[in-house]
Amino acid sequence: MSRPLRVMHVITRLILGGAQENTLLTVEGLHRRGWDAWLVTGPALGPEGELLSRARRGGFPVVEIPSMRRAIRPADARAFFALVNLFRRERPDIVHTHSSKAGILGRFAAAVAGVPRIFHTIHGLPFHPYASPLANLAFTTSERSAACLAEKLVVVADAMRRKALAAGVGRPDQYVRVWSGMEVAPFLQPRRPRAEVRRALGIPDDAVTAVKVARLFELKGHDFVLEAAAASPPHVHYLFAGDGAWRERLGRRAADLGLAGRVHFAGLVPPSEIPDLLHASDLLVHASLREGLARVLPQALLAGLPAISFDIDGAAEVIEDGVTGLLVKPGDVKGLADAISRTVGDLPSARKWGERGREFCRARFSAEAMVASIEALYRA
């Protein structure tokens, strides 16, 4: 009797994040479908929380490579050879890489080890306008070379395909879009009553609440939200879900803008509690400057919330302006404030945007649909 096909998914670190949750759900789903699915990762370092504990309870092999870290460092050579040795020893039929560091090291290591099939998912591109020219040159050159080693390049949004091809990464026939799946049911029906969640966060019953779900870090756009909040009606409160290096700085910024009492920091929130926070809110505000396709956009729509987002990368593939939410020019604080005021000024109409978005996302963004698409890609 032949053994199940062995597939190893490789990612730099299993912190709380969209790419990490996507990868973990894929491995869990393939494991349930009878694949010999493995997860290979570096240490889950950082203040953002981790998914490594959940992975270790999944019933499939989890390999941690201590030298594989997010930053570029001399120990990358050690991580590369650790991957080569792992692939040679365990002989996977497929290696599927995620994230920039693991994507580059993993694809080259798989090629050196003679792995028959190599895939890579682009969750977000490492080169972008906010990085230094030298960093962009290094990442673009590396991604072009690594793309030649992959049979297929999976993107979570068509915007990623267009940007990658414009930078000379890969060939058009290599690209396949697979929506980034999630556990849909909790977003359709929260576990805790709205009033209970709001009380715990200190949000008044009569406040309209705009929620932002993201790490408290650069390029995530919290400053834009705070500046827009200062121009919004006083009964609008803001909920920041997430933690990170910018927590104290953002708290001071909120106080400086006179927003004390109107900005609520939920802190580090497990993924299982995000649906409750969304249902306790009235609209989503997403002001990141760089994303592939932010998972919180379909998550908010699944919860029935109207979504306001900067028009970057894959946002327009989920939010139809004026139909399921509003799109704003990136960095436009006045436009963001106007969008918030427009939404808050007519909440009954805005709730209809959320209802339309829920129907759009229900089938497209389920974890089951994502895993089925990945499995079909492998079998093809």
Distance between CA atoms of 135 and 156, rounded to whole angstroms? 23
Distance between CA atoms of 299 and 361, rounded to whole angstroms? 8
Instruction: Give the mean pLDDT of 106-123.
Output: 97
What band does 298 get if pLDDT is binned at 50, 70 and 90?
A: very high
Lowest mean pLDDT, pick from 65-74, 90-99, 192-201, 285-294: 65-74
Instruction: Give the mean pLDDT of 117-137.
Output: 88
Distance between CA atoms of 46 and 54, rounded to whole angstroms? 17
Torsion angle, alpha carbons of 226, 232, 238, 244, to 10: -10
pTM: 0.89
Instruction: Give the mean pLDDT of 321-350.
Output: 95
For 331-342, b/e burial (b = at least 16 CB within 10 A) is: ebbebbbbbbee
What band does 252 get if pLDDT is binned at 50, 70 and 90?
A: very high
pLDDT on residue 131: 79
Distance between CA atoms of 299 and 305, rounded to whole angstroms? 9
Residues recorded for the chain: 380
Percent of the chain with pLDDT over 70: 100
Domains 6-182+366-379 and 185-364 share a fold: yes
Given a cut of 70, whether residue 1 has pLDDT beyond it is: no
What band does 148 get if pLDDT is binned at 50, 70 and 90?
A: very high
- 185-364 CATH fold: Rossmann fold (3.40.50)
Give the domain ranges of the chain: 6-182+366-379, 185-364
The CA-atom distances, in angstroms, between 365 and each of 9, 22, 241, 307 are 20, 11, 21, 16
Angle, helix 247-256 to helix 222-230, in steps of 10 degrees? 20
Closest CA to 92 of 157, 148, 27: 27
pLDDT digit string, tens, across residues 39-88? 999 998 877 778 999 999 999 999 999 999 877 788 899 999 999 999 99
CATH code of the domain occupying 6-182+366-379: 3.40.50.2000
pLDDT digit string, tens, across residues 175-226? 999 999 999 999 999 899 999 999 999 999 999 999 999 989 888 999 999 9
Task: Share the mean pLDDT of the chain.
Answer: 93
